[in-house]
Structures are given as structure tokens and as C-alpha cells.
Amino acid sequence: MPTINQLPVLSTISSGDQLPVYSPNNGDARRTSIGSLLTFFQQSFASPTVAVNLFVPSSGFNITVPTPVSEAQWMLIQPAGTLASGTVTLPLNTSVPDGTTVLITSTQEITTFAIALNGATAIYGAVTTLAAGSATEIRYYQPTNSWYAVNTTLILAAGIQAWLGNPSSANLRAAMTDETGTGLLVFNTSPTLVTPILGIPTSGTLSNCTGLPIATGVSGLAANVATFLTTPSSANLALALTDETGTGANVFANTPTLVTPIIGAATGTSLSTTGNQVISSTGKHGYATGAGGSVLQGTSKSTGVTLNKSTGQITLDGAALAASTTVTFTLTNSVIEAGDILILNHISGGTAGSYLLNAQSGAGSASINVRNISLGSLTENPVVAFAVIKAVTA
């Protein structure tokens, strides 16, 4: 066999030109074409060159990576705006050379992102979302029939880089896009918040709190209740109540002075009025102790007497009073008014049933008539009890 230097020079190689190849399976030397050798290299090893593929998809897309022709694939996704979802399907595993790399870049955010394996066993380090301007790079390893993350670009939002370099409250607030309020971050369990505006808490405990505006800070109050809470007057309480009776000031004492009250059905042990008029616990109407008095008539049964009481007793003079004879005397009494009624009773002293009593009231006095209705003259001291009753004609 001639040596290599003895062979003629082939200046141009074609696909059909052949090369000697030793085949261990056959145990001898054989020949193969240059084209077959090139195909073997293309299928077995990735080319260092990169094929760029540009796509402008819509949401829900499914883009398949072109079958590598000994090239790394760069999938450049350039949608018009943010996409809710999208999928990139890898090339069929039986057509992927060992070491093939796929680089996926998106100019806009893809919120839900997936990579379909297309025959491969697994993918390690896959991303599930792509931020605007971010990328992910994966490489195929033929012995495990799996894809592995080589590099994932982290694209930071505006302001995040500044906060990572100087993590102050102000820088974090500048990086945030949905914050509420300004000032310093709060980590304490009992912070001091200056003029916070709270929404509607489901629960909470207020202690040592001041300055809560009733009119605007408390909800659920009935009409005029807030006014009463801020200015608790009797008039404001009456406005807030819906079933009150009467008007005027509230009464809290146990001996109040009520001006012209109108009392309906009432129950009590007694009712006292000016002049010691009472309704006792036994149901009697009349006068209490202090309303009465007594007086003794002098000289004759026609002699006037003075007793400024609502009730009392008059002991008449003992002069003789002839049968069927009437004697009149004047009872001066500041309690009596014109039109009032005097109730008169012979209660003791003298012969019971022998006297007829009558009275005519005037302003400050009353004329009292005493008549002997027996058949003989009576010389005795009858005691007459009286009570003044107010009476009107209108």
C-alpha cells in the first residue's frame, strides 16, 4: 500500500469523496463518504454558531424550536405587550445533538411560561415566567436525555437595584408600585403611627386613645346621637330619643320640683302636694299632718274665729241655742277662696244629731250656719270639724 506522500493531491473535496475508516464492529477497515461523515458530526455535536429565530406571538402561543443543524438556537420572542401565557416546544430529542443549547429571550413579560420537552426525560431549572427583558438558557445532555439550565438572566424592576445597594425605607418605597403612605417601615409590635388612616378593622382594642371624632369617626349611630355625645344637654338627649314624653330638663333627684306635670296612672305609697294634701297608701284622699289646726270660739256662738288651715276643728261657745234656731259666725281663713266647698261635721261635744251645719265661702273667709234642730234649747259646746275643698265652675 502506498504511503500518504505517494498519493496524488486532491485540491477540491466533494461530498461523495471517500475516506478510510476502521470499524471495530466489523474488525476491518472500510470506507465512508465525506458527506456521511459531515452528517455524523452534525447529529452528534452542536456547532458553536448560533441560529437566531425571531417571533412576534400573541398570548397562548406555542413555538417549536427548529431542529438543530449543528447549531445553537436563539429564540427571540418579541410580542407587542405583556402576554398571559406561552409555550416553547423543544426539538425532538432524537434529532438533538449532545450539547445543543437553546437560549430564549423575551422583550415583554410572559406571566405563565412553559417549556415542552418533546421526548426528553426532564428539564432541570426551568422557569415558569419570563419578565420583560429576561432570558433563560438550557443545554441538552444526551446520556440522560435531559435539559439543564445553563443561565437565567435576572431582570430587576425599576428601583430594586438601588434598594439592594442601599436598603433604606425610602428606596424600598421608590421600588414599590402599590405602596400606601410614606415614612419609615414598621416592624415593632407596638409602633407609633402619626395620623394613620385606618380602614374598617375586623377587630381591635383601643386604649389611651384621644381625639376620636364622634361625628365622623363612629358609624352606626342613630340620628342626633352624635350631637348628644359631644354636647350632652337635656335638649340634645330629647332630640336623640324617639319615645320621650314631655320637654324640659332631665330629672335625676329623688325629690325633684316638677312644674305643671301631667301624671297619668301612677302607683305609689303616697302623693304629697303643696298644702300637705295626700293620697295615702290606704287609698284615702285628704291632708297630712301639718295641714290642720283648732280654734276655740269665745263670747257666743255668733262670735267669729280665725284659723288659716285647710282643715281643722272649731269648738263652739257654750251659750244656749234655742230649738229651731240658726246662728251664724264667720271663719276667717286665708286658704278659702270664693266658690270653695267646706265640708262640716259635728264630731264631738254636745248632743249628736241635734245640729244642722252649712257654709258659704268667700275670699279669705266663710260664713258658717249652725241650727238647733232638736225640740229643746241646747246649752253645750259642740265641736265642728271642717275641710276645705277646691271647687270650680269651669
Give pLDDT tens digits for 278-336. Answer: 666 566 778 888 889 999 999 999 999 999 999 999 999 999 999 999 999 999 999 99
- In DSSP notation, 380-392 reads S--EEEEEEE---
- pLDDT above 70: percentage of residues in the chain: 88
* pLDDT bucket at 38, cuts 50 / 70 / 90: confident
254-286 pLDDT, tens digit per residue, is: 777 777 777 777 666 655 565 566 666 566 778
* pLDDT bucket at 68, cuts 50 / 70 / 90: confident
Cα→Cα distances 16→28, 31, 61, Å: 21, 11, 43
d(C-alpha 213, C-alpha 197), whole Å: 13
Q: What's residue 380's pLDDT?
A: 96
Out of 83-92, 159-168, 384-393, pick the least confident.
159-168
Q: What's residue 274's pLDDT?
A: 59
Residues 32-56 have a mean pLDDT of 78
CA nearest to 328, candidates 365, 274, 278, 284:
365
Q: What's residue 340's pLDDT?
A: 94
pLDDT, greater one: 202 or 367:
367
Q: What's residue 162's pLDDT?
A: 74
Q: What's residue 76's pLDDT?
A: 95
- Mean confidence (pLDDT) of the chain: 85
Q: Are 347 and 387 in contact (CB under 8 A)?
A: no
Q: What's residue 29's pLDDT?
A: 86
* pLDDT bucket at 158, cuts 50 / 70 / 90: low
Q: Are 96 and 68 in contact (CB under 8 A)?
A: yes
121-155 pLDDT, tens digit per residue, is: 999 999 999 988 889 999 999 999 999 998 766 65
Q: What's residue 42's pLDDT?
A: 65
Amino acid at 19: L
Residues 186-206 have a mean pLDDT of 72
Kindly state the cell numbers that stand for 271: 302623693
| Distance of alpha carbon 364 from the chain centroid | 70
Q: Are 109 and 132 in contact (CB under 8 A)?
A: yes
212-236 pLDDT, tens digit per residue, is: 777 777 778 888 888 888 888 988 8
* pLDDT bucket at 161, cuts 50 / 70 / 90: low
70-79 pLDDT, tens digit per residue, is: 568 899 999 9
Q: What's residue 114's pLDDT?
A: 96
φ, ψ dihedrals at 13, nearest 5°: -105, 135
pLDDT, greater one: 211 or 82:
82
Q: What's residue 309's pLDDT?
A: 94
